[in-house]
Amino acid sequence: MKLSLGQTAPEFSTTDIYGKQISLKDFQGRKLLLAFQRNTACPFCSYQLFRLNKIYPQLQEKGLEVLVFFESQAEVILKSSFLTDQKLTIISDPKRKIYTQYGAEITADKIEKVFAIPSRMEDLQASQALKLASTEKEDGVNQAALPAAFLLDEKAIIRHIHYGQDLGDNIPLDAVSAFANQ
């Protein structure tokens, strides 16, 4: 079920890819971006992570924290080239438990749309040039999963929702920066 603006974000408790306990409550009093990516083989997801990591110091300076979810196993994420110089907190959710809480969609109907959008093809080429996406075969990932993102205020109220409409439809980084500046 999709979430709504103004709703309190669903609570979760999990570990990051390094085994550190993470809970939504840990971020009480701070703004937060929850970014649900697909898997490590997704070039659009790895490029979004690369770009987010570049602006993360400025976001953090403004009081915005970032949690990035992947449906890949932690062991696979830890081998990924996009972890180089990574500052973001990354969470593995291969059973999609938290994805489901937040209504992240799986639908084959929207897969092909990505190839008709020129900016997505530019992102794909940039990701490939940087060799960001994993080439390792991943069992159990959903090839029809779509990205989703949520901007939460200091009280964990959802202030911005972005449900991807294709494989590469990630939250615009200018929307993230604007929210951090509020």
Closest Cα to residue 156, out of 2, 23, 60? 23
CA gap 88, 157 in Å, rounded: 21
**Which pLDDT score, from 0 to 100, does residue 130 have?**
85
CA gap 115, 105 in Å, rounded: 19
**Which pLDDT score, from 0 to 100, does residue 141 have?**
82
**Which pLDDT score, from 0 to 100, does residue 125 have?**
87
pLDDT digits (tens, 9 = 90+) for 2-44: 999 999 999 999 999 999 999 999 999 999 999 999 999 899 9
Domains (ranges, CATH) in the chain? 13-181 (3.40.30.10)
**Which pLDDT score, from 0 to 100, does residue 135 have?**
66
Helices (H), 62-172: 74-78, 97-101, 118-130
CA gap 72, 182 in Å, rounded: 33
Please tell me whether residue 137 adopts helix, strand or coil conformation: coil
pTM, two decimal places:
0.92
Question: 46-50, long-range: CB within 8 Å, 24+ apart, which pairs?
Answer: 46/80, 46/82, 46/127, 46/132, 46/133, 46/134, 47/123, 47/124, 47/126, 47/127, 47/130, 47/132, 48/123, 48/147, 48/170, 49/82, 49/86, 49/88, 49/90, 49/132, 50/82, 50/127, 50/130, 50/132
pLDDT digits (tens, 9 = 90+) for 141-154: 888 999 999 999 99
**Which pLDDT score, from 0 to 100, does residue 59 have?**
98
Closest Cα to residue 125, out of 38, 47, 45? 47
pLDDT digits (tens, 9 = 90+) for 44-79: 999 999 999 999 999 999 999 999 999 999 999 998
**Which pLDDT score, from 0 to 100, does residue 127 have?**
85
Integer CA distances (angstroms), 41 to 37, 76, 113, in order: 11, 10, 18
**Which pLDDT score, from 0 to 100, does residue 136 have?**
67
pLDDT digits (tens, 9 = 90+) for 105-134: 998 888 778 878 888 888 888 888 888 876
